Amino acid sequence: MAIANESHQEEKNMHEHHGAGRYWLIWGVLLVLTVVTVVTGRMHLPSFGLLLALVIATVKGTLVALYFMHLSEHRGANRIVFGVSIVFVVLMLAIPMADLGTRFRGANPPGSQYSDLQPPDIGTGAQRGRFGGGLRPHQTKDTPETPEPGHH
Amino acid sequence: MQSSAHTADGTANVPRLAEHFASLEVQNHAARLGMWLFLATEILLFAGLFVCYGCYRFLFPEAWAAGSRSLDLTMGTVNTIVLITSSLTAALAVHYAKEGKNKMVGVMFALTLVMALGFLVIKYFEYAHKFHIGTLPGRYYFYEGMQMPGITLYFTVYFCSTALHALHVVIGMTVLAVAMVRAFKKKDFGPNNYTMVELGSMYWHLVDLVWIFLFPMLYLV
């Protein structure tokens, strides 16, 4: 009897069974990459530090997805779902960044790198915060009211 | 709840096949595809926070550099290693489930849970230190040592992303604990019945995957 959702898709998925050694190998590679990213991160490389860290993280993430999550043994729909979600993540990152990078300079928040305006009083001192630091009310008892930001 | 058809010899445990599936293979495929779809939504959930990170970092690079240097890199690195190792034991649990070694499945998940707990304990100490010195989000920030525009935003992003991640750690621990109890008590995982172990393990790998990105973003650059 033919049933609508009958398929032989799964015969190709997850049926190969291999030794546990592969997982230990991936684990070792992940640890090495972690050490590499920490060492290079501590150097505070000027321009390509972020790029390098993200490339290493992407390699690690790919190893986890392919071997720990068995994506390397999957075909079809599972791969498409994962791939498409990554494409959407990239789009979601790229479009707001492109917006910020091309804005009229005055539209950026005051105090930011791409603004000529002075930062407002962000009120972050122990005695000064809008709520006197919020978590330390006892310290603000004797100090005068903090002026609202932007009133000076 | 999947119930298993116990056969006489007790080795060929097979989960119940729902009527609308042509075969067990199709049912497993549907379960796995559903899990991937769910994980895709999880990835996009975290991506929203990554966008916040990217935009504010672009606007306040100095605050981002100062903020990331104020974090405890040793604790962050130890936590990364702990989480990667817990991902290994979760992967090994699936490996043993396919071979029907239920005791090993339970042991592997128990190790994963111990490391997950360790991760949360280290995270607690990091949080406690921040609450103490006052590097907190938004209006609650009161640390005198770093005063610059955008610094409170760094800690908003830090707390939102690590707290959401920690919530996922707790959920993952719950899922793995259920699978662990089943491996120890019902002992019915085997070559035809390991979907629960596999999908629980996939969730745990996602938690690891997210941390692999959060760690360099927050602690290193």
CA distance B94 to B90: 7
ipTM: 0.84
For the segment A136-149, the average pLDDT, to the nearest whole number, is 46
Q: Does B59 touch chain A (CB under 8 A)?
A: yes
For the segment B28-37, the average pLDDT, to the nearest whole number, is 90
All domains in chain B, ordered by first residue: 20-220 (1.20.120.80)
| CB contact residues (below 8 A), chain A span 12-41, against chain B | 13-14, 17, 20, 23-24, 26-27, 30-31, 34, 37-38, 41
CA distance B26 to B38: 18
Task: Choose between B138 and B213: higher pLDDT.
Answer: B213
pLDDT value, residue B19 = 81
Choose the weakest-confidence range: A128-137, B37-46, B194-203. Answer: A128-137
Strand partners, B14: B5
Residue B26 with chain A: CB contacts under 8 Å: 5-7, 9-10
Query: Does residue B13 have a pLDDT over 90?
Result: no
Query: Does residue B140 have a pLDDT over 80?
Result: yes
**Burial letters for A77-103: b for 16+ Cβ neighbours within 10 Å, e otherwise?**
bbeebbeebbeebeebbeeeeeebeee
**Interface size between A and B, measured as CB pairs under 8 A:** 205
Helix axes B61-70, B151-185, angle to 10 degrees: 50
pLDDT value, residue B12 = 57
Query: Does residue A141 have a pLDDT over 60?
Result: no
CA neighbor of B90 nearest in space, from B121, B111, B61: B111
Task: Choose between A88 and B12: higher pLDDT.
Answer: A88
Q: Does A86 touch chain B (CB under 8 A)?
A: yes
CB contact under 8 A, A50 and B54: no
CB contact under 8 A, B87 and A68: yes
pLDDT value, residue A124 = 52
B73, B219 contact by CB (below 8 A): yes
The residues near A48 (Cβ < 8 Å, ≥ 6 apart) are: none
Q: Does B212 touch chain A (CB under 8 A)?
A: yes
Q: Does A64 touch chain B (CB under 8 A)?
A: yes
Query: Does residue B207 have a pLDDT over 90?
Result: yes
Nearest CB among A53, A113, A119 relative to B221 is that of: A53
Q: What is the dihedral of CA B97, B103, B105, B111, to 10 degrees?
A: -170
Rg value, chain B, Cα = 21
Q: Does B29 touch chain A (CB under 8 A)?
A: yes
The three-point CA angle B85-B91-B95 to 5° equals: 140
The residues near B159 (Cβ < 8 Å, ≥ 6 apart) are: B136, B137
Nearest CB among B44, B59, B136 relative to A109 is that of: B59
Mean pLDDT of chain B: 89
pLDDT value, residue A20 = 85
pLDDT classification of A7: cutoffs 50, 70, 90: low
Q: How far does B21 lie from chain A, in Å, by closest CA?
A: 7
pLDDT value, residue A140 = 43
CA distance B55 to B58: 5
Nearest CB among A8, A30, A114 relative to B59 is that of: A114
CA distance B104 to B180: 10
Q: Does B88 touch chain A (CB under 8 A)?
A: yes
Q: Cα B188 to the chain's mean position, in Å?
A: 25
H or E element: which one contains B93?
Answer: helix B73-98
pLDDT value, residue A151 = 44
DSSP secondary structure letter of residue B193: B
Task: Choose between A24 and A107: higher pLDDT.
Answer: A24
Query: Does residue B152 have a pLDDT over 90?
Result: no
The residues near B111 (Cβ < 8 Å, ≥ 6 apart) are: B86, B89
CA distance B198 to A14: 11
Q: Which two tokens stand for residue A118?
A: 């002075």
pLDDT digits (tens, 9 = 90+) for A36-58: 999 988 887 777 888 889 999 99
* Residue from B19, B20, B25 whose CB has the most chain A CBs within 10 Å, to mutate: B25
Nearest CB among A50, A110, A125 relative to B147 is that of: A125
DSSP secondary structure letter of residue A147: P
CA distance B200 to A30: 21
Residue B90 with chain A: CB contacts under 8 Å: 68
CA distance A31 to B208: 13
pLDDT value, residue A148 = 46
Q: Which two tokens stand for residue B106?
A: 């339970």
H or E element: which one contains B41?
Answer: helix B24-59
Choose the weakest-confidence range: A20-24, A79-83, B18-22, B105-109. Answer: B18-22
pLDDT value, residue B127 = 94
pLDDT value, residue A132 = 42
Give the CA distances from residue B171 to residues B178, B200, B209, in Å, rounded to whole numbers and listed in that order: 11, 10, 15
CB contact under 8 A, A125 and B144: yes
pLDDT digits (tens, 9 = 90+) for B66-86: 899 899 999 999 999 999 999
Among the residues of B99-150, which ranges form H helices?
102-133
Give the CA distances from residue A63 to residues A58, B34, B111, in Å, rounded to whole numbers and listed in that order: 9, 22, 21
CA distance A15 to B192: 10
Query: Does residue B160 have a pLDDT over 50?
Result: yes
Q: Does A82 touch chain B (CB under 8 A)?
A: yes
User: Could you tell me whether strands B4-5 and B14-15 are parallel, antiparallel, or unpaired per DSSP bridges?
Assistant: antiparallel
pLDDT value, residue A144 = 45
Task: Choose between B29 and A34: higher pLDDT.
Answer: A34
Q: How far does A102 lie from chain B, in Å, by closest CA?
A: 12
Q: Does B137 touch chain A (CB under 8 A)?
A: no
Q: Does B92 touch chain A (CB under 8 A)?
A: yes
CB contact under 8 A, B91 and A81: no
Q: Which two tokens stand for residue B205?
A: 């790998």
Q: Does B14 touch chain A (CB under 8 A)?
A: no
